[in-house]
Amino acid sequence: MKNVFLTGTAGAGKSLLCATLLPWFADKGATVASVNLDPGAQNLPYEPDIDIRDFIDLSTVMQNYQLGPNGALILAADLVATRMNDIQEALDTINPDYAILDSPGQIELFAYRNSGPYIVDNLACDGKTVLFLFDSTLVSTPTNFVSIALLAASIQLRLKTSQINVLSRSDMLGPNLKKVLGWSSSAAKLEQALYEETKGSSYQLSSTLLRDLAKSGISYELIPVSSTTRDGMLDLSATITRQLSQGEEMED
């Protein structure tokens, strides 16, 4: 079984991408299971095979611990790790080729507390990758692009797992898609765009961070995908499969 974790800022399109990837993999003849790891999820665009909400109920957490909605979300996210054996057991029963795991909207609850890294690290699998979604609506300026690239690097630092960076909801960028992809594939283009945007005021900070990012070897080359038009799905699924088989070769 190979685990594919979907991460990204709130509303970046994780759940709809999960719903889109499931039939995509199934059509290719792979068996696939969906796992919802978000105890606070309200409406999911797919029917999860395994649902953390069956083990952790947000309103019970609020009542039992006398917490408001934010406090309950934090505690519920922490409690996810305590149900890892249940998730593992359910996954072992299904025993799919791929498990697609949808994470909570509040990325800090998943990546910056202990539960998310623990789950990523300890769920048994013979290959795993993290998809980090750059939300198209958050990367429309060069400075914003750099700030989300830093977040992507930070998630990689926390989850310590091979990561595929995706430009999600790419259809929402319209004519700006080409420009954003230009920044993602060329550090020189992005630096020039930063220079033109900031006119010196925050150029020093953003360009230094960008160069350090490049020096660290972390790639922010993005695969554009749209769950609405299905554009980019072929490229993304091929990248996931390649990444996971590379992991296998490295382990051999």
Can you give the binding site for Mg ion, defined by CB under 5 A?
Answer: 14-15
Type of residue numbered 155: I
* Burial class of residue 27 (count of CB atoms within 10 Å of its CB; 0-12, 13-18, 19+): exposed
Site string for ligand GTP, 59-88 (x = CB under 6 A): ------------------------------
- Eight-class DSSP state of 207: H
We find the least distance from the C-beta atom of residue 44 to Mg ion, in angstroms, to be: 7
The sheet carrying 2-8 orders its strands as 50-51, 32-36, 98-102, 2-8, 128-135, 163-168, 223-224
Tell me if 72 sits within 8 A of 58, measured CB to CB: yes
Q: Of residues 10-49, which lie at the interface with ligand GTP (CB under 6 A)? A: 10-16, 38
Instruction: Number of residues interacting with ligand GTP: please give it, by CB under 6 A.
Output: 16
10 binds, among ligand GTP, Mg ion, none (CB under 5 to 8 A by kind): ligand GTP
Q: Of residues 100-139, which lie at the interface with ligand GTP (CB under 6 A)? A: 105
Nearest residue (CB) to ligand GTP, 10 versus 205: 10
206 binds, among Mg ion, ligand GTP, none (CB under 5 to 8 A by kind): none
Q: Which of 86, 97, 171, 197 binds ligand GTP (CB under 6 A)?
A: 171
SS3 156: helix
Sign of CA dihedral 120, 124, 130, 131: negative
- Eight-class DSSP state of 202: T
* Residues of this chain that bind ligand GTP (CB under 6 A): 8, 10-16, 38, 105, 169, 171-172, 226-228
